[in-house]
Amino acid sequence: MPLSQTELLQRYARLVVECGWGGKAGIAGKPVHVQHGVEAYPLLLAIAEEAYRQGAIRVDYTTWSPRMDALHVTYAPDDALTDIPATWADRWNNLVDVRGATVRIEGVDDPFALARCPADRVSRFEAARTAARERFYTEGLGKNTTPWCLVPWATRDWGKLVFGDVPDARERLEAALVTVLGLEHDDYIDRWWTRGERIARRSRLLDEADIEWLHVTSEGTDLMIGLHPLARFGGGMHVGEHVRFFANLPTFENYTTPERGRTRGVVTMTRPVLINGQNVEGLRVEFDEGRVTSFSAKTGGEAFRAMLETDEGASYLGEIALVGIDDSPIYSTGLVFQNILLDENAACHIAFGRAYVDRIEGGTEMSRDELAAVGCNDSKVHRDCMISDDRTRVTAICRDGSRRVVIEHGRWAGQFAI
């Protein structure tokens, strides 16, 4: 029997507070922050009520509207385009010292509003917002000291992107999200912790293999990605000193930090990706010595180029993530959600730009120079692009010279198929 709207909101709120923030252990006696779209206001209220019930001392919120962002990018003079108010950025930065929590609800009005703006201005605006929240990204998110998560919420405009201009597009998207989040099950919270533990077991197996290179092959792809000896795999569940939480809900990936300077070959993206408000399709990228040397795209190429020009690190990789299509309910839907949170968890993916320092052993205690020395890339951007489907093989080339197939025909293989 379908969930009522009240039941759906309650389950979403519990999912965010208990799994996304770690429940009472993560938020009791602390402030929390919710970034939400206009149509997600009912979910904001539900999350706020659940957070207060579990001990949060304050619930702050920020409205997220691509249309408002597009108006700023279109009309703001150059000096004001990248002038990000501290009062906005501090909603994230101020969480670091008190170890407060934050969530971004993925689901907005007019997701492609920024596509109607000049790509270079959008890129500068987005980079400025990231720079303004530097403390949150480096000390909070990067070191996992502040519970943070992303969660999807169905909206009318997003529904039309996925299902076309049909009357029940939002409802169909909502049903798909309920499925991939597992909210139809009464024990959905326990199921997510079980899922997190299984992903963690696979990460341990990948680490034990002592992988030096990951070789990704498929139609249009022959890519070698080098890993530093200190690189460690992780999954969607982060475990800190006093709290465990999921950064992405849903999540089905095992990911690590590539070594800057050791990516070579060519890769063809298997799904479109939204970059600075523009849909980039048919993207093909060539690498040499870690750096992007050339690319082509059927659509959205200027948005990708503008992203690469953000800074030096944007042309290098910051993440390689493995996802088995046999272990992803998102892939099983057969849908392209045109949203990174969902689409990156349907396929293996790479990310251009900023690396995760916590995926380097001891990385959260290293200086910038020490991180650079072990090949941990730095950038103002972090953009995921999907690189696998049912034709993809990923082979691990281990430091002892052995080779192990990790992904075969897009599915987990051998000892990694747990």
| Fold annotation for 5-184 | Thermophilic metalloprotease-like (3.40.1830)
**Nearest 5°: phi and psi at 60?**
-100, 160
**What is the per-residue pLDDT across 244-293, written as a single tens digit (0 to 9) for each?**
999 999 999 999 999 999 999 999 999 999 898 889 999 999 999 999 99
**3-class DSSP state for residue 180?**
helix
Q: Where are the domains of the chain?
A: 5-184, 208-233+253-416
For residue 188, give Cα distances in angstroms to 11, 16, 53, 259: 9, 12, 20, 37
What's the rounded Cα separation, in Å, for the pair 346 and 281?
A: 16
Question: Is 296 within 8 Å of 277 (Cβ atoms)?
Answer: no
How large a percentage of the chain has pLDDT more than 90? 94
Global confidence as pTM: 0.94
Extended beta strands in 269-387, E state = 273-275, 278-280, 284-288, 291-296, 317-322, 349-353, 382-386
pLDDT digits (tens, 9 = 90+) for 162-213: 999 999 999 999 999 999 999 999 999 999 999 999 999 999 999 999 999 9
Amino acid identity at 139? E
Q: Is residue 279 within 8 Å of 237, Cβ to Cβ?
A: no
Nearest to 93 by CA among 129, 44, 121, 123: 129
How remote is the C-alpha of 293 from its chain's centroid?
25
pLDDT band at residue 395 under the 50/70/90 scheme: very high
**Rounded CA separation 361/232 (Å):** 6
